[in-house]
């Protein structure tokens, strides 16, 4: 009996030691899994998107319906790509037309009146990546009644 007892008392500390060790192993595994989950969801939540906005046919007389969707809501880091689906030359110029007191025209983005980014004809695109939150009004320099808004959240 004495021999069996000493075997049990000798086994208990080893068992506890193993339990502590394996608990630590499980915890560190959990942390590893938790970290992976965090990185994974972080990537999903912040995966940058390209959001398309159409300059619709007949845009020059359509006011705030010239761009679709309008307003467009995107996340920080997303890119808005405007596509000219009209037969006329348009611009996508940040700010407000001077007729409504806009002083910051083209400060944030501007497809412009010339150059490779200009939306001179159907099928041409212009892109801008928004790296700050805010509300960004824009308009067409050639038809200042064409107004739109990008909301970055």
Task: State the minimum distance, in angstroms, from the CB of residue 100 to Cu ion.
Answer: 16
Binding-site size for Cu ion (CB under 5 A) equals: 5
What SS3 state is found at 88?
A: coil
Dihedral pair phi/psi, residue 57, rounded to 5°? -55, 135
Which residues, 25 to 44, sit near Cu ion by CB under 5 A?
A: none
Which residues, 79 to 138, sit near Cu ion by CB under 5 A?
A: 90
**Residue of the chain from 62, 74, 140, 147 that contacts Cu ion (CB under 5 A):** 140
Asked if 56 touches Cu ion (CB under 5 A), the answer is no
Task: State the minimum distance, in angstroms, from the CB of residue 54 to Cu ion.
Answer: 13
Task: State the minimum distance, in angstroms, from the CB of residue 74 to Cu ion.
Answer: 22
**Residue of the chain from 56, 129, 142, 144 that contacts Cu ion (CB under 5 A):** 142
Q: List residues near Cu ion by CB under 5 A.
A: 90, 140, 142-143, 146
């Amino acid at each position: 009996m004495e021999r069996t007892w000493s075997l049990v008392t000798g086994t208990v500390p080893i068992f506890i030691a193993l339990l502590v060790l394996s608990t630590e192993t499980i915890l560190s595994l959990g942390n590893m899994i938790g970290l992976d989950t965090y990185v994974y969801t972080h990537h999903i939540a912040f995966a940058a998107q390209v959001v398309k906005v159409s300059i619709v046919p007949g845009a020059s007389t359509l006011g705030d319906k010239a761009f679709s969707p309008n307003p467009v809501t995107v996340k920080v880091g997303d890119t808005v790509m405007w596509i000219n689906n009209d037969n006329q030359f348009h611009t996508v110029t940040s700010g407000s037309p001077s007729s409504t007191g806009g002083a910051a025209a083209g400060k944030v983005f501007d497809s412009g009146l010339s150059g490779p980014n200009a939306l001179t004809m159907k099928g041409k695109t212009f892109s801008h990546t928004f790296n700050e939150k805010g509300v960004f009004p824009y308009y067409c320099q050639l038809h200042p009644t064409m107004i739109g808004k990008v909301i970055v959240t």
